[in-house]
Amino acid sequence: MYLKRIELHGFKSFADKVNVEFQPGITGIVGPNGCGKSNISDAVRWVLGEQSVKSLRGSNMADVIFAGSEDRRAQNLAEVTLVFDNSDRTLNYDYNEVEITRRLYRQGNEAEYLLNRQQCRLKDITDLILDTGLGRDSLSIISQGNISNFADNRPEERRVIFEEAAGVSKYKKRKIEAIRKLERTKENLDRIGDIVYELEKQITPLKKQKEKAETYLELKEKLTSIEVNVLVHEISETNASLEELSKILKSLNEKQAALDAEILLKESANDEIKKKMFVLDNEINALQSQLLEAMSEVSRLETSKVEVDQKRKHALESKDNKDIAHKLENLKAILADVVEEYNNRVGRLEETEKELNDLSNKQKKMTLMIQEKHQSISHLTQEITKDKNRQEILIDLVENKSNYHSGVKAVMSLSNQNPDIIGVFGDLIKNDQEYDLAISTALGSALQFIVTKDDLQARLAIKFLRDNKAGRATFLPLETMEPRLLREEHEILCPTLDGYLGVVSDFVSSDKKIENVILNQLGNVILADNIDHASEISKATYARYKVVTLDGNIVNVGGSLTGGSANKQQSSIIQKRELEKVKEHLKELENKLAKEKNELNSLENESKEISHTLLQKQMSYAKLEVVVQNKKEELIVAKGEYEDLSHQNVELEDFKSGKINNQLVIELNEAIQHRDQLTEQIKSKREMRMSYVNENEQLENALKTLRKDLKDIQSQVNEKAIASTKQEASLNNYLNRLSNEYAMTYEYASENYQEELDMESARYEVAVLRNEINALGHVNLDSIEEYEKVSKRYEDMNGQRLDLIQAQDKIIQAIDEMDDIMVEKFSTTFDKINYQFNLVFRELFGGGRAEIKYTDPNNILETGIDIDVQPPGKSVSNITLFSGGEKALIAISCLFAILKVRPVPMCILDEVEAALDMANVERFAKFLREFSSQTQFIVVTHREGTMEECDLLYGATMQQKGVTKLVSVKLEEAVDFSNDQHQGGV
């Protein structure tokens, strides 16, 4: 291996890029002082990793970058590349040519190392050249200062060059690394030892807690298996019992409502009857007063009539009265009275018949009206029943959310206990009826999304659903909902388009806290009046938004259309609206039914009165028929008597025409008629009152029975309600225990814990297990996981501790082995160098003796090196007392002794012979030639004797101030060049 080339650019005085070619043998670099020839050796030392600025003759590392001159600008980069021929693989690198490069940038003092143009670390370069003789502290680079310092160095400092020669540097480096590793291992071992000690203190109590926790979990698992089954059984039975109680209560409530309604109707009817009885009593009293007056009038008139009739009969019967005309006049008066009475009774009979016909017709009409009322009430009752059934269905859908997804219902069952679950989105918004279909269509499944306070609540709810296999749900956390709005340009454009009604969120109202949720879901959904305009709006906005119409059609984002017949039953908004309508309609129907019942009651009462009146008229008619017949017979007798006396037929029409004065009879007839009417009215009203009395008694009896039944039903309702409340409390208790203790829903528990058990035994076992669990006292469930962690960590740490102990032992063993190797190699090499040193010294000094010694023979690894030399004819006890030339020659003797024992592939000698006289320079040069076959020498010199032995010479000059140039020269030219430059004082 040898150095083929050095490439320099921007390094110290090498401002321009310079390539210096080398060859095996001796290469000389000559030039006057200050021309920059020593920068060559600095460049090699710098590339090989020199970090000491002082060794590079600077104050900071940036000083190696060309600093500029009067004519040249400063460089920002220093770069040096060493190119080695590695055909013999001296360097452990699988290339025939190896390039080592170092760069330094002025900006930030950033440095780079490259190996064959690939970036690497300084350590990679150091490891590559280790023990090859190329180290920056080895014999590969020897300067005049090194030579002069060799003799003056402390023994410990002098040892370094011998270690490099002995090839123990890599072992020493490894030992240093091993010692550092050993120190780190000890530190780690101490630290891990402390950790293991702390873990040992924790693990024992944790183990007890863990065993206790495992016992608890085992008991808890057993308890869960049994108690959940018991709870499922109890809940199932309680639900069945509640359902049965609910049915009974429903039936009882219906009966109670019916009884309340019936009692109310009967009480109302009874009150009405009492009012009517009171009115009838007043009317009867008034009629009785009138009847007394009428009877007095009839009595008076009858008395007068009797008197008249007696007078007439007396006149007819009187034997003294022979005046036939006078008799005829009396008979005629009697006949006129009889005709008047007969006509009066016939008129009354006809009038009564007419009244009967009118009452009969009225009764028929009343019957028809009552039938119509019954039909109307029946129809209303059916409608009310139908609406109540629909109301129950809608209440179940809207309030109980029976048609919601199972996951939504499961989460909402927790909302009473968790205020952070705000509600179902569809239940939190309101809108006008005309927008129901549009908003339902716009939201779709989002109607059943659940609004929560934050993302945490949503994740907890999802975990609850997952753990209980209770279904799925979508959540809208308030904290994360960001409004989605129309773009600014579209907010300006859309209002100018036909059919644009607004953004759907503008037609929805709600609590302000969910405003962002509404804007997130509906803030960028457009509302149009019809599908044609919706399509045009979508095109105008490049189909960026969903557009919905009032009748539920959609133009989707992207332009696709959705439409047809909407299923209104699926929308909670429409269902709520329908429930409101059903409730209003039901109220209207119930009011109408109450009105119809009142009207029916009035009609039935009126019908009863008509029936009573008709019956009285029928009785009066029958009586009048008898009276008319009697009057007719009287009329025939009177007519016969008159005709017999007058011997002529009598036309009764004459008597009807009122030609005969029968004023008394007319008055009597009127009085009798008035009396009979009053009598009839009183009788009718008394009979009516009696019927009311009977009805009142029946109502009172019925009310007593109804009130008794109502009291019994109320007692049953209270009893069942109390039982239902107890059952509900038990059910809630069971459900809460399932939820709180076992984090289960009833649905999940019933699916997974449905076993046939003896409930009595199971309940007893639950009590026993609970006692055992309570007996455990406080249980740290985290101790199981903590124990596992601590135990695992203890095992890991203890394993690491054992590994570290083992590693420590191996490191100590490796250090001992390296010590043995270093002692053996160093001792062997030292002895060889000592032998060669004496020979070279004698040859260079022409006699005398030389020897190197250990300062501490008992500590070969750290001992310093003393030099004991005796030039011929001199006796000097201390090497520092020799002259500069002698010190240099001693150092050179040692250098060549080392090279004889451990040849190096390359050696740069920078004016090491400067202090020697001519004769010694020649001896030095001969030694160079002797070693040049195995070592490549690069000699920076201005001594002729050295130059004469060089195979290749380079001249260093500064044609421009501050900039070094290298030129290849012949030996004669080099000598003349060197002398001329030296004599010229350049």
Hey, where are the domains in the chain? Answer: 1-129
Higher-scoring residue by pLDDT: 756, 887? 887
Binding site annotation covers 35?
yes
CB 10 within 8 A of CB 78: yes
Q: What is the mean pLDDT of residues 246-258?
A: 80
Q: Do residues 473 and 450 touch, judged by C-beta distance below 8 A?
A: yes
pLDDT tens figures, 898-954: 888 888 888 888 888 888 888 888 888 888 888 888 888 999 988 888 888 898 899
Give the burial class of 482: count Cβ atoms within 10 A of its Cβ; 0-12 exposed, 13-18 middle, 19 or more buried: exposed
- Print the SS3 string covering 463-515: HHHHHHCCCCCCEEEHHHCCCCCCCHHHHHHHHHCCCEEEEHHHHCEECHHHH
Contact 42, 141 (CB under 8 A): no
Average pLDDT for 714-743: 81
pLDDT over threshold 60, residue 653: no
pLDDT attached to residue 768: 85
User: Taking the model in full, what pTM does it have?
Assistant: 0.44
Is residue 92 annotated as involved in ligand binding? no
- Using DSSP's 3-state secondary structure scheme, residue 97 falls into strand
Residues 6+ apart with CB under 8 A from 56: 42, 45, 46, 50, 63, 64
**Cα–Cα distance, 705 to 285 (Å, whole number):** 34
Distance between CA 203 and CA 797 in Å, rounded?
13
Q: At what angle do helices 324-398 and 169-317 cross, to 10 degrees?
A: 180
| pLDDT at residue 873, rounded to an integer | 76
Q: Which two tokens stand for residue 303?
A: 């008395």
The string of DSSP letters for 739-769 reads HHHH---HHHHHHH------HHHHHHHHHHH
Which amino acid would we find at residue 803?
D
783 marked ligand binding residue: no
pLDDT at 314: 56
129 with 44: CB under 8 angstroms? no
- Span 962-977, pLDDT tens digits: 888 888 875 555 555 5
559 annotated ligand binder: no
Q: How high is the pLDDT of residue 103? A: 92
Stretch 81-89: mean pLDDT: 90
Position 500 scores a pLDDT of 92
- Is residue 34 marked as binding? yes
- The neighbour count for residue 911, using CB atoms within 10 Å, is 22
Question: How far apart are the C-alpha atoms of 550 and 531, rounded to whole Å?
Answer: 9
Q: Has 419 been labeled as part of a binding site?
A: no
What's the pLDDT score for residue 655? Answer: 47
pLDDT band, very low/low/confident/very high, at 656 (cuts 50, 70, 90): very low
Name, in order, each residue with C-beta under 8 angstroms of 103's C-beta and a sequence gap of 6 or more: 77, 78, 79, 111, 112, 113, 114
Cβ proximity of 661 and 235 under 8 Å: no
Instruction: Give Cβ neighbours of residue 703 (< 8 Å, ≥ 6 apart).
Output: 263, 266, 267, 270
Three-state DSSP class for residue 369: helix
Structure tokens at 440: 């339902």
Tokens describing residue 649: 């037929």
DSSP string, 928-976: HHHHTTTSEEEEE---HHHHHT-SEEEEEEEEETTEEEEEEE-HHHHHH
Judge whether 732 is annotated as a binding position.
Answer: no
Confidence of residue 320 (pLDDT cuts 50, 70, 90): very low
| Superfamily (CATH) of domain 1-129 | P-loop containing nucleotide triphosphate hydrolases (3.40.50.300)
List CB contacts of 173: < 8 A, sequence separation 6 or more.
130
Average pLDDT over residues 373-380: 82
Distance from C-alpha of 115 to C-alpha of 120, rounded to nearest angstrom: 6
User: What confidence score (pLDDT) does residue 972 get?
Assistant: 55
Q: Which residue has the higher pLDDT, 639 or 487?
A: 487
Structure-model confidence comparison of residues 489 and 336, the more confident one = 489
Helix residue ranges, H only, 846-914: 884-901
Instruction: From 772, 383, 421, select the one nearest 592 (Cα to Cα).
Output: 383
855 phi/psi in degrees, rounded to 5: -80, -25
CA–CA separation, 699 and 272 (whole Å): 11
Residue 85 phi/psi, 5° resolution? -85, 120
Query: How far apart are alpha carbons 471 and 409 in whole angstroms?
Result: 9
Choose among 956, 909, 941, 964: nearest CA to 9: 964
Task: Determine the Cα–Cα distance for residues 767 and 778; give it in Å rounded to an integer.
Answer: 19
**Choice between 26 and 445, residue whose per-residue pLDDT is larger:** 26
Would the annotation count 907 as a binding residue?
A: no
Spatial distance between the Cα atoms of 970 and 953, rounded to a whole number of angstroms: 7
Q: 323-355, pLDDT tens digit by residue?
A: 555 555 666 666 666 666 667 777 777 777 787
Residue 880: what pLDDT? 73
Mean pLDDT of the chain: 80
Tell me how far apart the alpha carbons of residues 725 and 870 are, in angstroms, rounded to a whole number.
122
